[in-house]
Amino acid sequence: MKKISLAIVCIASMLYSSPLSSSVSGGFNPLTKSSAKTSDAEKKDNYNELVSFLSKSPSGEYAMSLAIIYLNGIEEPDAYGNTIKPNIKKTIFYLKKSSDLNYFKSDFILGSLYYNDHRFKELDNSQKLAKKFLLKAFKNKIYESALPLSGYYFYTEKNPKKAIEILHQGAKNNDSSSQLALATTYGYGSPDAGIKQNKFLGNKFLGEACSNENKTRYVTKFCNSAYILNKKGGE
């Protein structure tokens, strides 16, 4: 029980911080955006045209989407037989470019990658960079970054007080993942964080997370789980 309270920080951050899901959750798909010169279908059938279009656009959102393309690669060939191989250096480059264009969700993604993704964790100073970019996202009101940032403070810096503080700020700003993390923290108690079990607060934050209209897919799945449904039925 001792570590269950903040274990969700690590688990949920790995699930939620998927760069692809983060991009999709924002409703953006580079293959569906139009261009005055090239149709959507033509861009999808010609990866060189797609990459050229996204790389030249003065849009942080487009730069982030190009970064995600390079992160995951595209195995299915285009009409000319071309594929796109994953490229970590280009992923980092375009996420930084996106941030320079004031699209700060890219800092959340880059920080989460440094914190969670094994390919990024192997790079020099990965954890310091994780903190740097997650903090930048958080300070620019990207409160999705609260969960992995709190995980960093709790597990890497061994600073549970700061981790809880970050979660409270995230929850206050309607981040469902922070609300759910606090629900488990107070619901079970966390001796490591100096928090005694408080079922009232646990249920309060659980209610906020599950009633949050902007809750993530992970939080939605948790709230629809048999455990929660049985808990509600027993009340």
Contact 206, 215 (CB under 8 A): no
pLDDT class of 232 with cuts at 50, 70, 90 = low
Q: Looking at the predicted structure, is the pLDDT value of residue 19 above 70?
A: no
pLDDT class of 20 with cuts at 50, 70, 90 = very low
pLDDT class of 194 with cuts at 50, 70, 90 = confident
Specify the range with the lowest mean pLDDT, choosing from 27-36, 53-62, 110-119.
Answer: 27-36
Percentage of the chain modeled with pLDDT above 90: 72
Q: Looking at the predicted structure, is the pLDDT value of residue 77 above 70?
A: yes
CATH topology (fold) of 4-233: 1.25.40
pLDDT class of 192 with cuts at 50, 70, 90 = confident
Over residues 172-197, mean pLDDT: 93
What is the SS3 string spanning 156-204? HCCCHHHHHHHHHHHHHCCCHHHHHHHHHHHHHCEHHHCECCCHHHHHH
Distance between CA atoms of residues 162 and 153, nearest Å: 6
Distance between CA atoms of residues 51 and 70, nearest Å: 10
Q: Which amino acid is at 42?
A: E
Distance between CA atoms of residues 163 and 149, nearest Å: 7
Per DSSP, the residues of 87-102 read -HHHHHHHHHHHHHTT
Domain boundaries, the chain: 4-233
Would you give the distance in Å from CA 170 to the centre of its chain? 13
Tokens of 154: 């709790």
Tell me what pLDDT residue 180 has. 96
- Name the one residue in this structure whose structure tokens are 């949920």: 12
Contact 54, 62 (CB under 8 A): yes
Over residues 95-112, mean pLDDT: 97
Over residues 38-42, mean pLDDT: 43
Predicted structure pTM score: 0.77
Report the b/e string of 126-137 with b at 16+ CB within 10 A.
Answer: beebbbebbbbb
Greater pLDDT, 228 or 203: 203
Across the chain, mean pLDDT equals 82
